[in-house]
């Protein structure tokens, strides 16, 4: 027997992933979708295998294990499994101290998760007609807006993630965007904008709407925080932590990450630590 809720959930996250992937620069798209797939599979496997922690004998009865509900504990195990899978996929960047890259990857993963959650709420609102589902559906609006405004197809940003001004400068100099600044400070060309300015407020608004929707649901079903409230708080914490590490580790100023080597000059004519003025 097909579970309609499961089908709607898979459809919502599938559509969200496809739409957000279209907004990514082509160079990042394949890697990002690999991360999303690994994290999603880890979450589902962790959630469904949670009963084994309490009843190991279920390993001999796979059908019963699959049909058994994992409850709130299963949601927690699934969320923890997803976090572990994400940092495993980004282990090379973590070891190298490339926190700007890890932050960018987590930010897009968060956008996909929030957009999928909002679409699921929309589908559920159409199916059940509950008011809480409409609040959940509102989460999708700023999530998709963040992807649209900050992605490869944003207004004034041609394919490749460049603005019109960057494209014109590239045509004049024959160099990719950010190469001019990189040549001044001695750093290699930037891999791309680490922090489109429109994205952070939209993600903050989206997380706020998620907490609002789940708080309304928690009043009815829970005495304390619901599992999705805990998930939203944990996601916001990871997001804020990676944001801080990206700023501290790369001299990131909100628009792009600039990596300076010792003795290299900054755009103001000074040298970084290790050199003299």
What are the per-10-residue average pLDDT scores of the chain (277 residues)? Answer: 75 91 86 93 90 86 82 86 94 90 91 91 85 84 81 45 43 44 38 50 83 75 70 87 82 45 44 42
In the block, tokens 């049909």 appear at 67
Residue boundaries of the structural domains of the chain = 1-97
Q: Please report how the helices 4-23 and 99-128 are oriented relative to each other, as an axis angle in degrees rounded to 10.
A: 140
| Residues sharing a CB contact under 8 Å with residue 190, sequence separation 6 or more, in sequence order | 177, 178, 181, 182, 256, 257, 258
pLDDT in the model for residue 277: 38
| C-beta of residue 130 within 8 angstroms of C-beta of residue 11 | no
CA distances from 173 to 166, 169, 180, 222, 269 (A): 10, 6, 9, 61, 21
- Closest listed residue to residue 114, CA positions, set 133, 97, 136, 96: 136
Q: Please report how the helices 140-150 and 199-221 are oriented relative to each other, as an axis angle in degrees rounded to 10.
A: 160
For residue 103, the tally of other CB atoms under 10 A from its CB is: 27
pLDDT in the model for residue 221: 64
Bridge partners of 265? 271
pLDDT in the model for residue 253: 45
DSSP string, 64-118: HHHHS--HHHHHHHHHHHHHHHHHHHTHHHHHTT-HHHHHHHHHHHHHHHHHHHH
pLDDT in the model for residue 106: 93
- Closest listed residue to residue 74, CA positions, set 231, 223, 235: 231
Structure tokens at 240: 């804020």
């Amino acid at each position: 027997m097909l579970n309609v809720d499961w089908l709607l959930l898979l459809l919502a996250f599938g559509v969200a992933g496809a739409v957000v992937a279209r907004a990514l620069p082509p160079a990042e798209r394949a890697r990002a979708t690999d991360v999303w797939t690994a994290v999603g599979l880890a979450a589902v496997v962790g959630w469904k295998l949670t009963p084994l922690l309490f009843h190991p004998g279920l390993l001999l009865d796979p059908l019963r294990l699959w049909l058994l509900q994992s409850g709130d504990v299963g949601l927690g195990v699934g969320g923890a499994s997803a976090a572990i899978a994400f940092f495993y996929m980004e282990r090379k960047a973590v070891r190298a101290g490339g926190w700007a890259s890890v932050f960018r990857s987590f930010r897009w993963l968060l956008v996909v998760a929030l957009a999928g959650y909002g679409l699921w709420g929309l589908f559920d609102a159409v199916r059940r007609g509950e008011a809480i589902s409409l609040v959940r559906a509102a989460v999708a609006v700023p999530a998709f807006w963040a992807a649209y405004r900050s992605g490869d197809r944003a207004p004034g940003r041609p394919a490749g993630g460049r603005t019109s001004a960057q494209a014109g400068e590239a045509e004049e100099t024959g160099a990719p965007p950010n190469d001019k600044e990189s040549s001044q400070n001695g750093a290699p060309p930037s891999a791309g904008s680490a922090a489109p300015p429109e994205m952070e407020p939209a993600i903050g608004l989206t997380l706020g709407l998620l907490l609002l929707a789940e708080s309304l649901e928690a009043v009815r079903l829970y005495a304390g925080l619901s599992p999705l409230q805990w998930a939203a708080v944990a996601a916001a914490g990871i997001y804020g932590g990676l944001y801080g590490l990206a700023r501290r580790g790369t001299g990131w100023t909100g628009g792009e990450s600039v990596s300076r080597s010792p003795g290299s000059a900054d755009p103001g004519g000074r040298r970084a630590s290790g050199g003299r003025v």
